[in-house]
């Protein structure tokens, strides 16, 4: 598995094609879980609570109460894990269905394998974000830039995974990613709002 993780970085097209053909969805699931834990640990190291605390001086104690509830380790872990799993499973299903519009010929396990391995850049990005975020405001800004770049990298790999696993064109893979991606963002946003409301009610 680790050879394929390195392969995603060095030669993504060939590696993602191999993972899809072998239908390594269990390895894909393991990578999603590992990445979720790694992002959660990285978030614990980020000084976001301190920055939000400074904001609270101008907006009142409600911001402190809100941020403290959302930034609890349990809430952060649950949010990271559930969000990644929802995207992996539901996203894989939606991508598979939309790929049929472009005569997709792949399988759901193959697509899930590719999407899982597409998260590989977080093994590099998440630790870098954690380390740089410890450098004050400048470090936090640098951490945000690294996070944005890592996300773009992952999105590109996800599109490649869709293309290779479903055997469709690059344009078809981009459209297949964008339309369900918007739906997933809306679902995830509503899910976060629900979790936030439950946390605030329990706090």
User: Any idea where the domains of the chain sit in the sequence?
Assistant: 2-202
Decide: helix, strand or coil at residue 196.
helix
pLDDT, tens digit, 9 for 90 and up, residues 146-171: 989 999 999 999 999 999 999 999 99
Contact 162, 169 (CB under 8 A): no
**Does the structure show a pLDDT above 70 at 57?**
no
Query: Tens digits of per-residue pLDDT, 17-30?
Result: 999 999 899 999 99
Residue 65 has pLDDT above 60, yes or no: no
Q: What is the pLDDT of residue 79?
A: 72
- Tell me phi and psi for residue 118, to 5 degrees: -65, -15
Give the HSE-up count for residue 9: Cα atoms under 13 Å, Cβ half-sphere: 11
**pLDDT tens sequence across 172-184:** 999 999 988 788 7
Tokens matching residue 87: 């995207």
Say how many residues make up the chain.
203
User: In terms of Cα–Cα distance, which of 98, 91, 82, 97 is closest to 112?
Assistant: 91
Q: How far is residue 42 from each of residues 46, 62, 189, measured CA to CA in Å?
A: 7, 26, 22
Are 98 and 14 within 8 A, CB to CB?
no
* Cα gap 70→135, rounded to integer Å: 23
Handedness of CA 99, 177, 18, 37 (dihedral sign): negative
């Amino acid at each position: 598995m680790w050879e394929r993780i390195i392969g995603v970085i060095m030669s993504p097209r060939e590696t993602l094609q191999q993972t899809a053909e072998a239908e390594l969805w269990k390895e894909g699931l393991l990578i999603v879980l590992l990445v979720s834990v790694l992002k959660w640990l990285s978030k614990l190291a980020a000084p976001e609570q301190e920055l939000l605390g400074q904001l609270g001086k101008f907006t009142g104690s409600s911001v402190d109460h809100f941020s403290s509830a959302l930034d609890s380790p349990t809430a952060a872990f649950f949010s990271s894990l559930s969000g990644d799993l929802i995207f992996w499973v539901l996203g894989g299903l939606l991508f598979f269905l939309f790929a049929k519009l472009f005569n997709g010929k792949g399988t759901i396990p193959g697509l899930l394998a590719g999407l899982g391995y597409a998260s590989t850049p977080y093994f590099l990005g998440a630790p870098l974000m954690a380390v740089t975020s410890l450098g004050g405001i400048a470090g936090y800004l640098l951490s945000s830039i690294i996070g944005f770049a890592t996300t773009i990298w992952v999105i590109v790999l996800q599109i490649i995974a869709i293309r290779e696993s479903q055997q469709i064109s690059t344009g078809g893979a981009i459209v297949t990613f964008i339309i369900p991606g918007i739906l997933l963002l809306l679902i995830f946003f509503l899910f976060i709002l629900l979790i936030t409301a439950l946390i605030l009610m329990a706090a």
